[in-house]
Structure 1
Amino acid sequence: METINKKLRSQLATLIILIITGIHATAFGQDYSFAVEKIGSGKPVIFIPGLISSGEVWQSTAQQLADDYECHILTLPGYAGQAPLSDCPYLESFKLEILKYIKENQLKDVQLVGHSIGGFISMLIALEDKRSIQQLVIVDAMPFFAQTFSPDMQTDFNEEAAKKYMKTFEGLEEVQVRQYRKQVAQSMTKREEYWDKMVDWAMQSDAKTEAYSSHEMLGNDIREKLRDIKIPITVFAAHDENPDFPTYTKQAVEETYLAQYQKAPNLQLIIAEGSRHFIMLDQEEWFHQQLLSVLK
């Protein structure tokens, strides 16, 4: 009898851990390709990370909101160790499954917070669901990012370019790939403690998902469609002074983002000074305060 009780206690402890952490691909009894961690209670906020990033990038932010909001932190399929989808198109699949998640779990007045490609996906979701989504918070993302560095960028999916990107890693030793990934991480955030984490997330990501989902975004221009998103859109744009790029001023950042979002009827632009791409890490306390104000 004592052995049985110990077994039951062990099983119960395991169940409690799963309920508390919620770090698995099942939420509210439904299976999804993305992982979900749910913390807090109140109005729902869904956090979508950027390319090949773990939902961990949102952990500190969600903890700050947990007293007043029910935070749903996603890790997308194929990113940071999450099993990939069987085939593309990836962004369309991500969008549809998050819409399914919102509908099946009867989430209302949802506020979407998306970083980078997660911000782009948030806009796609808002274009589709005009009843459940209350507000968008976009962190350093644009409706047609490719146009900022290539005015002649084609506006459809360039599979050859995606395959070419994948081939850049072929023949490289793991140490070389890690070195490259580390350089990218250093350019993305000043937080040194995240550099190795980002390298690990990249190494654990599916190569095709990374290449194809990023190029799907690059070939998708939704600037004109923003006129159909009537809900508030708050955009956080990163700016960090760099002597190697003297023309990359705060004013230049503001002008670029306002041009990209000029069709959005209900826009607020906030410049995060002294921050690289991962604003929520580089300006953590400032971002928490700004986000709380926006959500309220």
Structure 2
Amino acid sequence: MKTIFKQLRFYFGTLIFLISTGLSPSVFGQAYSFAVDKIGSGKPVIFIPGLITSGEVWQPIAQEIANNYECHVLTLPGYAGQAPLSEGPYLERFRQEILQYLEQNQLEEVQFVGHSIGGFLSLMIALEDHSAIEQLVIVDALPFFAQTFNQDPQLGFDEVAARQYMDSFSKFDEVQVRQYRKQVAQSMTKQEKYWDKMVDWAMLSDAQTEAFSTYEMLGNDLRERLSEIKVPITVFAAFDENPDFPTFTKEAVEEMYTSQYMHAPNLELIIAEGSRHFIMLDQEEWFLEQLSSVLK
């Protein structure tokens, strides 16, 4: 009888979640607003891409480890052609839905690998202290990014700034926007073969989701709350020497990340030299070797 009541509580809890988030249940399970490409077998690893990036960015790495791990490669709603949520708050709804995904699929000993805003989202998820989460791998993401360029950043979601960011694109035609996106892609990775693909992902992304999720992250300071995360955190920080910025040194990067993650009780910091923001693209073989060691 107790088992039946547990099943009923889980069933109705799932329905309540679906109603509150505007999602629709499917016949054989739950429909999620994010896309999932699942490959391999073994302990689960959930890959979360960064802002307006497709889960495709993680596929080369996932394919390499699929013999040992069950890889769940996500594309978040509103990113890279995935249908957006009807309303925010976006990061919080992403977090809730991914936690529901763990429950619905009865995943255990889960390891999260998140890049950029996907890394920030992984930290948010781990604050739940869910028993299924085993460790986090954070790729070039900080718990309070706004503090790196503003010594007195505004806390909380700045909707005015988010809408101004959205409106800024309306001043340009598609060719000009693509040119801007291409410049951004070139600053993010040295791998030329990915530039056009990253532009396509950006052009297919929902403008409001991009703007709102960005400013939700910028207004959210997780630094002190990292003390609540009990699982190990491995952080990969990108460093690429640039003669135009002589003060941007490996030591400066290490100091910045150490300071931001100082409240994390179980942290390993790895500096990825010769890498721009997309470490897994710029140093694919090295990153794969490092990640394989961490996941073990």
| Structure 1 and Structure 2 fold alike (TM over 0.5) | yes
For 1:63, the equivalent position in structure 2 comes to 63
**Counterparts of 2:158 and 2:128 in 1: how far apart (Å)?**
24
1:83 aligns with 2:83: yes
Verify the 8 A CA contact 1:26 1:36 in the aligned structure 2.
no
TM-score (norm 1): 0.90
**Counterparts of 1:198 and 1:252 in 2: how far apart (Å)?**
28
**CA shift in 2, pair 1:26/1:172, >3 Å:** farther
SS at match of 1:236: strand
For 2:46, the equivalent position in structure 1 comes to 46
Matches within 5 A, 1:23-42: 29-42=29-42
SS at match of 1:128: coil
Worse-matched range after superposition: 80-89 or 129-138: 129-138
**Counterparts of 1:43 and 1:27 in 2: how far apart (Å)?**
26
Give the paired residue count: 272
Verify the 8 A CA contact 1:43 1:70 in the aligned structure 2.
yes
**Counterparts of 1:191 and 1:26 in 2: how far apart (Å)?**
39
Matches within 5 A, 1:223-238: 223-238=223-238
For 1:272, the equivalent position in structure 2 comes to 272
**Counterparts of 1:96 and 1:160 in 2: how far apart (Å)?**
25
Verify the 8 A CA contact 2:129 2:229 in the aligned structure 1.
no
- Listed one character per residue, the Cα deviations across residues 81-126 of structure 1 (whole Å, up to 9, x for unaligned) are 0000000100000000000000010000100000000000000100
- Listed one character per residue, the Cα deviations across residues 128-154 of structure 1 (whole Å, up to 9, x for unaligned) are 133110000000000001001101111
Verify the 8 A CA contact 2:129 2:230 in the aligned structure 1.
no
SS at match of 1:33: coil
For 1:286, the equivalent position in structure 2 comes to 286
* Post-superposition offset of 1:26: 8.1
Verify the 8 A CA contact 1:65 1:292 in the aligned structure 2.
yes
**Counterparts of 1:117 and 1:265 in 2: how far apart (Å)?**
21
For 1:150, the equivalent position in structure 2 comes to 150
**CA-atom RMSD in angstroms:** 1.3
Verify the 8 A CA contact 1:156 1:220 in the aligned structure 2.
yes
- Residue 222 of structure 1 aligns with an amino acid whose one-letter code is L
TM-score (norm 2): 0.90
For 1:165, the equivalent position in structure 2 comes to 165
**Counterparts of 2:103 and 2:280 in 1: how far apart (Å)?**
28
* Post-superposition offset of 1:246: 0.5
Verify the 8 A CA contact 2:49 2:118 in the aligned structure 1.
yes
* Post-superposition offset of 1:171: 2.7
- Listed one character per residue, the Cα deviations across residues 140-198 of structure 1 (whole Å, up to 9, x for unaligned) are 00000100110111111111110110111013110000000000000000000100000
* Post-superposition offset of 1:27: 11
* Post-superposition offset of 1:268: 0.0
Verify the 8 A CA contact 2:49 2:58 in the aligned structure 1.
yes
Give identity over the alignment, percent: 74
**CA shift in 2, pair 1:221/1:27, >3 Å:** farther
**CA shift in 2, pair 1:26/1:64, >3 Å:** farther
**Counterparts of 1:224 and 1:244 in 2: how far apart (Å)?**
33
For 1:194, the equivalent position in structure 2 comes to 194
**Counterparts of 1:272 and 1:43 in 2: how far apart (Å)?**
26
Gaps of 5+ in 1: 1-24
**CA shift in 2, pair 1:57/1:26, >3 Å:** farther
**Counterparts of 1:261 and 1:162 in 2: how far apart (Å)?**
26
* Post-superposition offset of 1:70: 0.1
Which aligned runs of 4 or more in structure 1 are off by greater than 2 angstroms?
A: 25-30
For 2:137, the equivalent position in structure 1 comes to 137
- Residue 102 of structure 1 aligns with an amino acid whose one-letter code is L
* Post-superposition offset of 1:30: 2.3
SS at match of 2:136: strand
Verify the 8 A CA contact 2:38 2:73 in the aligned structure 1.
yes
Verify the 8 A CA contact 1:28 1:105 in the aligned structure 2.
no
